[in-house]
Structure 1
Amino acid sequence: MGYTDVRRQDVVAAMAEYDRKGREAFLAEYGYDKARLYVLVHDGKRYDSKAIVGVAHKYRNGTALRHDQLIGGRATVGRHLVALGFRVDGMGAPAGGARSGPEDDAEPSGARPTSAERAGWSTEEFLARLITLDRRRAEQSGKRQALALLWAIGRWHGRATRWHAEEDFCRGVGDVLRDYDGDPGPEAVKDLFWHLEGTGVWRVDATAAGTGPVAGFDDRCHELLSSVQVRTRAINALRGRHLDDITETEELLASLGLADYARAGGRPRPRTGPARRRRRSGDVVARRRSVADHVIALHDHTCQFCGTRLLTGVGFYSECAHIRGVGAPHHGPDDLGNALCLCPNCHARFDRFGIYVDADGVVRQVHDNAVLGELRHHPEHEVDEEHIRYHRELCRITPE
């Protein structure tokens, strides 16, 4: 057993012990000198890298390593810490771009932002992190990281729960991974709890009083996620960039309590109350059309995006699309200004964040901005530009 057995959670535990005892007492107890070249930096604090790794071994295998068992700097302890997702001052990228093993794939020092840096993050910087996740980890873990973060967003949305105990995380995320990632096993799930810190959006608190380690979104990321628009964009970034091999993403979101975020129009509302009365001449009910009937009648089943007028065996067919979802979480109104007449194809793409209307009324594809047409208008149908802008914001998966 050697330093390469040390896991991220072991390092975090050693840093917590270092904080409790203080630098001088910690180094004296374990017989280490102060670091000269390679300093571990975590959440704005600086640690002696060799001492931390040596003591971290105790949390993995029961015995701390002596200083003479850790020979070398960058080639041993420093590289291992970087491979675990930590920042080590004094280290750069491997010289000459040579690669001798998986640890050489680690990003250079400073790639993971400090707490102070994250405090000033914009929405776009946060989303950029979700798109890239932690590139130091194996490619397959990108999918696992995305599933775990979606689980955390679902817990926050449903219960306003920000912090997750390790046991709860492993149980909840483990269930998700068994359904959507072939059950990688309990150790892989436990590693996720700790290694998600490498994404820059996740924080592990190993010193939580009386509860054991807890983890959740970093302070600034948690603040940003309180916005429905940011939350929707975050969900779209994770599912669009890391979960494209999952065919039933709407089913996945529903299982996580995020069904309302699967489509721009929200979940279809169940019909309540008595069925609509058959229309008769002069009937008040007949004169009070639904929004869907009204917008479709105004446009005579002609799609406002592509101009298609779909003829079926029983007549023409089109659909009413709400621009801003009615009800939670988007709380759009059920009125003409928030409705469009679309063909089934354009409706499906618009509702699933595939196409949007730009500020000039041009209909574009999300992923390449290709022009599909222009929004068609009717003199009796004034589309609310604020709802168009709201939908457009939800479709911005790639930060500008």
Structure 2
Amino acid sequence: MYIKTLTVTQLNNYIKKTMDGDFILKNVSLKGEISNWKKHSSGHIYFSLKDESGKINCIMFKEYADGLDFDPDNGISVEAMGRVTLYAKEGSVQLYCQSIKRDGVGDLFIQFEKLKKKLEEENLFSSNYKKSIPKFAMKVGVITSPTGAAIRDIINVAKRRNSKVELIIYPSLVQGDMAAANLIEGIKYFNEKNDVDLIILTRGGGSIEELWAFNNEDLARTIFKSKKPVICGVGHETDFTIADFVSDMRAPTPSAAAEIAIFNESEILEKLSYNMKMIKMKQIKRIDYEKNRVNLYKEKLQNYKPINYIANEYFKVDYLNKELRNTINSKIDKNKTLLSHTYALLQEKNPLNIINKGYSIIRDSDQKTIKSISILKEKKEIEVILADGREKFYLEMKREV
């Protein structure tokens, strides 16, 4: 038997009043790991605190948030103090924090960093192993939830950029215990399809636990071994997963992944149109250039007369004839000068010129010049050469000189 029929608002207000009167709930010190951290433009902070099996939403108003002495972030373990009450409008229990103290790094964040370091040391993140993303993919495999916002974003981008690109959707869980196995099967499925050009692995944003399937080691190794290029677009721009690091390209959002994977048809057509115009302009310019060359040759031919050519050739012959004569005369004059010099030198050295001055030359029968009286004493026949002739003499006796 029911005491009274209440409206939802009446029930929520009753629960809130009861919780507000509870001493423990008014003075709670709660320990947990931060997730879904968001600072609003108003200065208020919204986040969740979680442990191995539970989660509670939290809010910290600007007046308390301004007093924080560190920058909280997802994955950090903290101790939050405040009051627990019901947000009556939504019917949700919230912790209204007045202070937050850092307690340490959360378990999930520690696991993430440990796996990241391990795979990095194995070079699974190295750019040397990254496959290039095809510029003109015509068939793209998409692994994601068939009902999430991510697939709607990708389809909208595909319609806008290129309706001729075919999207093949592999429906998969994107969070929970079975999600990683589903994602792995999707990658293997598309690797067996020869006509798929690349793979998009994607989902929308969420807390670290909601994105945890993308931090799975087996999934990371499957992405690394994939023969098809993999673009990973998980969460928001500030969300990073192991799948982001090991994939061939990381996109900050699902929409950005589609922008990278699907080439813009209108941009390609515009470029082709521009290139065709440039080719046509170059062809016209080349044709005009060749026309001008032909016209120039025609003009030269019209002005050309054989008699003028012959006259010009005569002028050339006369010029060459004069040049040849000048060269020959110059050579003769030079040789004459050299000959005169040589003759003068010979005359200067000629012994007969000395005889003309009254000297004589005495030779023996062997035509050897006698230069000494002692040699003359030994000769029986000599020859005396003077300026006007020569005469032989026979010596019958030797005389003392």
Q: TM-score, normalised by structure 2?
A: 0.20
**1 or 2 for the larger relative contact order (CA 8 Å, sep ≥6)?**
1
TM-score where L is the length of structure 1 = 0.20
Bigger strand fraction: 2
